[in-house]
Amino acid sequence: MDRTAPGVAVMDVRDEHWNIEEWGHKIEEIYDDPNGPALFNINESDKREYDAIYLGGGASGRFGSAYLRAMGGRQLIIDAWPFLGGSCPHNACVPHHVFSDCAAELMRQRTFGGTLWFQSMDGVRTSIKDVVDLFKRGRTGPHAIMNYQSKEQLDLEYILNAKGTIVDAHTVEVAGRRFKAKNLILAVGARPQVLDVPGKDLKGVYTNVNLVETLDYEPSDTVVVIGGSKTAVEYGCFFNATGRRTIMVVRSQCLKLIPDLETRGYVLDRMKEQGMEIWEGSELQSIESDDDGKVKGVTIKTPDGIQRVATDFVFMGLGETPNSEMAVQALGVQVGPKNEIIVNSRLQTSVQNVYAVGDLIGAPMEMFKARKSGVYAARNVMGREAHYDPQDFPDFLHTHYEVSWLGLGEEEAMKKYENVVIIKMPPNNPNGLNIGLPAGDRVMLYAMAKPHMSGFQKLVIDGDTRRIVGAHHVGYGAKDAFQYLNVLVKQGLTVDQLGEMDELFLNPTHFIQLSRLRAGNERLVGL
């Protein structure tokens, strides 16, 4: 929805002190109304010049603003949506997690259907639309909390529901008014990429954005997903778990981003076991329309020739393009080959007093980087020199499982270290994975009844220094630990130190107890 309309009505909310529920109602009322007012929360009694305007109030703009305000500075957020928080709770991370939760639940239901208390799911197709609608009804809560928290608890100034236009390096025009600041911090995010093929604009072609906004029918029995990285796989696994034939069309290799080959192999094998078709080395050529302008099929070039697939639902999960166009036109900021604004480690662009943060500056496009880059820009604006270089971060994705990793895969480690030692579960076994370990919360039934589905985990160690150099996990509940483990690994965590920790048995990763079994070795041996 375009909210640039000049003369847009303005509502001064400064003296309103709505609670979270009231904010929720207000957001719902305004969101679908193209003539809805711009919401002004400006502290007119503060006569100081703004230290920074954050253009965009997503993760990067909001966290950066909060930090700048906490340091005693004055900030202003301008956002086109009637809520703060940006794309994550609106059409990105949060729906993705809803869908991934559903995928895990459904996989469990389908795996154990007809046994124990599980009803048979044979031939059962569950609704995609119901889950999308459920998410849409629920997303206002997080939106409302962010407006409330930002105003009442963090004391942030903001203008919502109005697009800002950059005038110069110190000025933004919004809802017919011009606001000036010492610095401009660009935080306008990114948008989904769409393959430029015939039929890309037909009804029935979705990205993560228009899926939640416009899905108004129940997709039939075949879904085609374009892409082989996080978004494609996460959404694809959900569609598959609903009982639909799901074809992943992947130009090169699926899930190349998982650094350890054995872990990646485990993940792909389980996806295929769930019935997913992964067409690697394949490209979408065109999307065909029925008489009503709706998708009726796709043409795909595969290594075995052209394939035509009948479907009414195509999902493009191809990554994102930074929204840098306005800044280029208005300010001439330098951009890279993927449209990303180029910044130095202080988040400064090529134009003085203009910073850029979040997805707008390119990969990794993740929440931790959005929030931290916003904060680091704030520090620099406030005269505290701070350098940010997102390296060596832990990562994760969802299939029907949660997959987490940090550091090096076994293959990369072998190139770097002479004596690589591996501790893993299940261990190498002539009968393959058919062992009821790893076992942990959420996989206990699998461990007992379908052991090969109970997950996979691996610790990669430099045997000479005894330092952990990589960790990999497929299962549930380990992601949280990886956030902290990554810090310890960067600090030089050894297998001996890991073995000294106190495990909360049964724990999702078995790293502590397995390390303890080997820590007594003077010359480290794998497991």
Catalytic residues: 84, 88, 93, 143, 505
Site string (500-519) toward ligand FAD, x via CB under 6 A: --------------------
CA-based end-to-end distance of the chain: 56
Q: Is 55 in the site for ligand FAD (CB under 6 A)?
A: yes
**The binder of ligand FAD chosen from 20, 42, 93, 506 (CB under 6 A):** 93
Q: Closer to ligand FAD at the Cβ: 102 or 421?
A: 102
User: Nearest to residue 369, comparing CAs of 397, 391, 336, 402?
Assistant: 391
Site string for ligand FAD, 428-467 (x = CB under 6 A): ----------------------------------------
Quickly tell me which residue has 């930090």 as its tokens. Answer: 67
Structure tokens at 293: 């302008």
Nearer to ligand FAD, 112 or 235 (CB): 235
Residues 144-203 contacting ligand FAD, CB under 6 A: 163-164, 187-189
Residues, the chain, total? 527
Phi, psi dihedral angles at 351 (to 5 degrees):
-105, 130
Q: Is 143 in the site for ligand FAD (CB under 6 A)?
A: no
Please report whether residue 318 would count as binding ligand FAD according to CB under 6 A: no
Told to check if 340 binds ligand FAD by CB under 6 A, we report: no
208 binds ligand FAD (CB under 6 A): yes
Judged by CB under 6 A, the residue of 40, 67, 81, 405 near ligand FAD is: 81
Q: In this chain, which stretch among 89-97, 175-183, 220-228, 437-445 interacts with ligand FAD, using CB under 6 A?
A: 89-97
Query: Binding residue for ligand FAD (CB under 6 A) from 30, 39, 53, 92?
Result: 92
Nearer to ligand FAD, 87 or 494 (CB): 87
Asked if 147 and 23 count as a contact pair (C-beta separation under 8 A), the reply is yes
Applying the rule CB under 6 A, the residues between 352 and 381 that interact with ligand FAD are 358-360, 365-368, 370
Is residue 96 a contact point for ligand FAD (CB under 6 A)? yes
What DSSP string runs through 448-513?
Answer: HH-GGGS-EEEEEEETTTTEEEEEEEEESS-HHHHHHHHHHHHTT-BHHHHHHS---SS-S--HHH
CB closer to ligand FAD, 5 vs 93: 93
The gap from C-alpha 145 to its chain's centroid, in whole angstroms, comes to 20
Task: With CA atoms as reference, report the closest residue to 472 among 435, 527, 509, 418.
Answer: 509
SS3 state at 386: coil
Measure Cα distances from 27 to 94, 143, 381, 491, 515 in Å. Answer: 18, 8, 31, 45, 51
How many other C-beta atoms can be found within 10 angstroms of the C-beta atom of residue 292? 8
Instruction: Tell me how many residues contact ligand FAD (CB under 6 A).
Output: 34
Q: Do 144 and 261 touch, CB atoms closer than 8 A?
A: no
By CB under 6 A, name the binding residues for ligand FAD: 55-61, 78-81, 86-88, 92-93, 96, 163-164, 187-189, 208, 231, 320, 323, 358-360, 365-368, 370
